[in-house]
């Protein structure tokens, strides 16, 4: 079932007298935590299962709805994943018309089609030793590469699946792909932008079969400068489907390629490593940013349960593909801009000045005294990252700097890409899984034509839409990853871990473990009162004066895992102050020994509260459970809640307006 998530919610159905009540997985700013379901709207749904509920109306302070779908046992990983899919309104199944259109496309290229395409000018590259490098489980292979080294230069061919040949503007396939915007990749589920018959079939660059492609050929100097290039329709036949797992140890000299691989393939891989390094160094010299944060690797079994969570570093083989794709995207963007083709660019704006100022403040605490211009150039930020490299506080300060960066998005205005330090940039290399790339391929086919076939207004609407679908997909992927990590830890309650303070808020200290899992130490669980110092991104123990800062090392015990709320909760056992971004007053041990001490007396509590009220406006206080209880819940809607409801209604109206406009105007 595919549903719009604007008025649908996910939760667990419980008994509520003769009726039912859905306890929502996520607290909603409008509805709170519960939706009551009258008996006539239960539709036979069993209690205790995960369900999708549609909100219908409000009566006094209660919200009412009806059951739309029963997902299943909330303890099952596949049900939990499905709940995330429903929460974000991700499309799971393809409409019959789309499946019928995909079925009409041949599974393979026949000789007649190949002869016709070659006669119409498509270049035959089937003699090249073309390869693909992807993850072991990847099925939608949309990029292939080939490299020659001659005359002291690199000659790189980047072959991209010609999806636009099969997905024509205005068709059912095109409309569905645009609505989805992108594929969504979860560890235990893939939601493709295009039906599998296309994404894993005729468009995918599998080895040993003829495939239609669009080729970007680049001539690259030894210093990484691209001096020449062209783009044209082509035909390839990949000779090898390689994986990162196979290539990485070969490039590091730890292993050999499979016995059936030719020696020339190994030679080309090492030349590719050299070329990628040259491209990377060239980007770094112009000021491109490199934030080095580990990825999370989650291994799951056949039932969908995680069996291992670990830190995954980006290898040389990944960098080869990354650099080649960036180079191709930049060249195509410059070409598109030069010929004023209708296009959707990938833009990245300058950083948030206020967040940069917060970074400066933290650097002063460290004695580093970094100063950043109000409108910095990428090279200025890159220089700071280079200076941080290898320092004990690099992960912490790099994370703070990363939070100051804007979110990349799609736009018809070519304003450049700050992080890449690129004047022109767009997406060209993944049309199987990104609609923006499909738009780019169609634009390239307009080269030499006097009239364009798509309006600027249409592209503006598409850019807004696919930017939103991308953010939605990223949020779903993040939640699913968090769920699997939480599930992995759920049978390890009571286990102790070493970690570092990764974030600090007004309600909790956040700890990241070595395997990248992150959880919270709630202030209310600590024996003393803490104040949140927003400008310093720190917390202060009001009794001892001890400071907790980003990067401080801690030892924690896992005390709770909530798989519905996706929350991991730790108990603080030891805090090594002074190990993070600034010094403190030495180690402080808490836990069993600390919790044996008497709670503060009423007089001392009153005095501390008075001191906190007069401590200044820069310190935001961390509320305790008693503080929250004493405030009371109130009745009716607050001004903030009314504002949130109004904002959400405007967002719904805007989404509907975009959908309506996209239906009216097609290519």
pLDDT for the residue 548: 94
What is the third-level CATH fold of 8-74? OB fold (Dihydrolipoamide Acetyltransferase, E2P) (2.40.50)
SS3 (DSSP) at 646: helix
pLDDT for the residue 349: 96
Q: Is residue 326 exposed (0-12), middle (13-18) or buried (19+ Cβ within 10 Å)?
A: buried
Please state the rounded mean pLDDT for residues 182-191: 94
Same CATH fold assignment for domains 8-74 and 490-631: yes
Whether 4 shows a pLDDT value over 60: the answer reads no
pLDDT for the residue 541: 94
Listed by start position, the domains of the chain span: 8-74, 96-349+410-483, 353-405, 490-631, 637-667
Identify whether the C-beta of residue 217 lies closer than 8 Å to the C-beta of residue 331: no
Confidence of residue 609 (pLDDT cuts 50, 70, 90): very low
Question: What share of the chain in percent tops pLDDT 90?
Answer: 71
Please state the rounded mean pLDDT for residues 635-652: 57
pLDDT digit string (tens) for 524-544? 999 999 999 987 889 999 999
311 vs 366, higher pLDDT = 311
pLDDT for the residue 577: 76
Residue 55 in tokens: 């909100």
Reported pTM: 0.84
Q: Which helix (H) or strand (E) holds 96?
A: helix 96-103
Confidence of residue 413 (pLDDT cuts 50, 70, 90): very high
Please state the rounded mean pLDDT for residues 299-314: 91
SS3 (DSSP) at 390: coil
- Give me the architecture of the 490-631 domain, per CATH: Beta Barrel (2.40)
Q: Which helix (H) or strand (E) holds 174?
A: helix 172-180
Confidence of residue 26 (pLDDT cuts 50, 70, 90): confident
Mean pLDDT of the chain: 87
pLDDT digit string (tens) for 245-304? 999 999 999 888 888 899 999 999 999 999 999 999 999 999 999 988 878 999 999 888
Confidence of residue 466 (pLDDT cuts 50, 70, 90): very high
Residue 237, number of CB atoms within 10 A of its CB:
19
Please state the rounded mean pLDDT for residues 438-451: 86
Read out DSSP for 102-149? HHTS-SS--HHHHHHHHHTT-EE-TTS--EEEE-TT-----EEEEEEE
pLDDT digit string (tens) for 116-162? 999 999 999 999 999 999 999 899 999 999 999 999 999 999 999 99
Query: Considering only CA atoms, which of 154, 354, 159, 153 is closest in space to residue 237?
Result: 159
Confidence of residue 650 (pLDDT cuts 50, 70, 90): low
pLDDT for the residue 657: 61
Confidence of residue 393 (pLDDT cuts 50, 70, 90): confident
Confidence of residue 484 (pLDDT cuts 50, 70, 90): very high
pLDDT for the residue 238: 98
577 vs 198, higher pLDDT = 198
pLDDT for the residue 536: 80
């Amino acid at each position: 079932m595919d549903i719009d998530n604007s008025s649908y919610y996910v939760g667990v159905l419980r008994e509520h007298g003769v009726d039912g009540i859905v306890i929502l997985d996520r607290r909603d700013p409008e509805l709170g935590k519960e939706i009551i379901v009258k008996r006539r709207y239960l539709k036979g749904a069993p209690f205790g299962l995960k369900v999708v509920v549609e909100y219908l109306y409000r009566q006094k302070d209660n919200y009412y709805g009806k059951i739309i779908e029963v997902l299943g046992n909330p303890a099952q990983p596949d049900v939990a994943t499905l709940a995330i899919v429903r929460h974000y309104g991700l499309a799971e199944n393809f409409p019959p018309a789309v499946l019928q259109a995909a079925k009409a496309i041949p599974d393979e290229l026949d000789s007649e089609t190949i002869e016709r395409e070659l006669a119409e000018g498509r270049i035959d590259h089937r003699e090249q030793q073309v390869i693909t490098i992807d993850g072991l489980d990847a099925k939608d292979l949309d990029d292939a590469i080939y490299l020659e080294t001659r005359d002291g230069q690199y000659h790189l061919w980047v072959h991209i699946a010609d999806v636009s040949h099969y997905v024509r503007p205005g068709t059912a396939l095109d409309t569905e792909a645009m609505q989805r915007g992108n594929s969504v990749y979860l560890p235990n589920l893939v939601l493709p932008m295009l039906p599998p018959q296309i994404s894993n079939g005729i468009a995918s660059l599998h080895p040993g079969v003829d495939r239609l492609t669009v080729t970007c050929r680049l001539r690259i100097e030894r210093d990484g400068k691209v001096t020449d290039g062209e783009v044209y329709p082509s035909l390839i036949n990949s000779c090898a489907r390689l994986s990162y797992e196979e290539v990485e140890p070969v490039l590091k000299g730890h292993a050999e390629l499979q016995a059936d691989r030719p020696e020339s393939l190994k030679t080309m891989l090492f030349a590719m490593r050299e070329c990628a390094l040259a491209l990377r160094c060239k980007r770094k010299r112009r000021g491109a940013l490199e934030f080095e944060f580990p990825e999370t690797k989650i291994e799951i079994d056949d039932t969908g349960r995680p069996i291992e969570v670990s830190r995954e570093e980006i290898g040389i083989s990944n960098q080869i593909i990354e650099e080649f794709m960036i180079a191709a995207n930049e060249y195509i963007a410059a070409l598109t801009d030069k010929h004023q083709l209708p296009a959707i660019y990938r833009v990245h704006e300058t950083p948030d000045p206020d967040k940069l100022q917060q970074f400066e403040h933290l650097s002063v605490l460290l004695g580093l005294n970094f100063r950043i211009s109000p409108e910095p150039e990428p090279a200025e930020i890159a220089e700071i990252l280079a200076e941080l490299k290898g320092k004990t506080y690099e992960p912490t300060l790099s994370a703070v700097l990363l939070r100051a960066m804007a979110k990349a998005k799609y736009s018809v205005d070519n304003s450049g890409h700050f992080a890449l330090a690129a004047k022109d940039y767009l997406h060209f290399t993944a049309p199987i899984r990104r609609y923006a790339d499909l738009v780019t391929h169609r634009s390239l086919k307009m080269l030499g034509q006097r009239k364009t076939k798509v309006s600027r207004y249409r592209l503006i609407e598409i850019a807004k839409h696919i930017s939103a679908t991308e953010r939605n997909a990223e949020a779903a992927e993040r939640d699913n990853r968090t769920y699997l990590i939480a599930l992995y830890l759920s049978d390890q309650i009571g286990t102790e871990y070493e970690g570092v303070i990764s974030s600090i808020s007004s309600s909790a200290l956040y700890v990241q473990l070595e395997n990248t899992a992150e959880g919270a130490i709630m202030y209310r669980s600590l024996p003393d009162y803490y104040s949140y110092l927003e400008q310093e991104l720190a917390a202060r123990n009001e009794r001892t004066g001890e400071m907790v800062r980003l990067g401080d090392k801690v030892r924690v015990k896992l005390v709770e895992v909530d798989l519905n709320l996706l929350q991991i909760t730790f108990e603080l056992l030891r805090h090594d102050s002074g190990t993070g971004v600034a010094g403190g007053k030495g180690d402080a041990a808490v836990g069993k020994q600390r919790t044996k001490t008497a709670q503060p007396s009423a007089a001392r509590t009153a005095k501390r509260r008075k001191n906190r009220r007069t401590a200044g406006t820069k310190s935001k206080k961390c509320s305790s459970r008693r503080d929250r209880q004493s405030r009371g819940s109130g009745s009716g809607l607050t001004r903030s809640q009314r504002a949130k409801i109004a904002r959400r209604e405007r967002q719904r109206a805007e989404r509907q307006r975009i959908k309506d406009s996209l239906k009216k105007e097609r290519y």
